[in-house]
Amino acid sequence: MGKFPLSKLFTNFFQFSATILDKGLKQKFMKTLKIAAVLALAGFTTQAQDLKTSQLPAKVQGAFQKAYPQAKDVDWEMKGEYYKVEFDIGRFDHEISYDANGTAVRVEKEVAVTELPNSIASAIKKAHPDYKIDNVEATQVNGKTSYKVEIEQGLFKERKLYFDGNGKLVSDLED
């Protein structure tokens, strides 16, 4: 009693749309649906391609090995025109995108809470005094570092805070 199966809802919707929509609107709807399906499939074809270290340009390989000789669990992929690598150093995840010349164009890494600038840590304590910092991720692009800080209160309240390169809060999202 009180149950309304989802399949019945869809059946009723399609019966309703068949009786209400005239032929021109149905064709327009179907065309829109087909375009959406094509775009969705196109998104799947632009997925990254996994690479072996031997498939990397020498400049990319050399730059990575020089900068991160202690890297573990290294996975490479080609994403657009960039060589993206994911790896661990200790307990921290790293993700770096290199151009074909071996220049790191984006560096994203987990960092210790103690590496968070004091101005950001203070702003978090002031705005969310009952929360504790759970995770800090630093992203460096064009010489500027921005931060994503995950904070939590108990088991069920989480927020993601985004700070720009100047330490200014850009976004505060409930997770």
Q: For the domain that residue 138 is a member of, what is the CATH number? A: 3.10.450.360
Does residue 2 lie in a domain region?
no
Does residue 14 lie in a domain region?
yes
Task: Tell me which residue range forms the domain holding 33.
Answer: 7-45
In 13-156 the beta strands, taken as DSSP E runs, fall at: 49-51, 72-79, 82-89, 92-98, 104-111, 132-141, 144-153
Say if residue 30's pLDDT is above 60: no
Percent of the chain residues topping a pLDDT of 70 = 73
pTM score = 0.69
Instruction: State how many domains the chain has.
Output: 2
Query: Are 38 and 60 in a shared domain?
Result: no
Query: Are 57 and 30 in a shared domain?
Result: no
Q: What is the pLDDT of residue 9?
A: 46
Does residue 134 lie in a domain region?
yes
Q: Which residues contact 7 (CB under 8 A, 6 or more apart)?
A: none
Query: Are 53 and 122 in a shared domain?
Result: yes
Query: Are 20 and 86 in a shared domain?
Result: no
Percent of the chain residues topping a pLDDT of 90 = 67
At 77-107, the pLDDT tens digits run: 999 999 999 999 999 999 999 999 999 999 9
Q: What is the pLDDT of residue 37?
A: 47
Is the pLDDT higher at 115 or at 25?
115
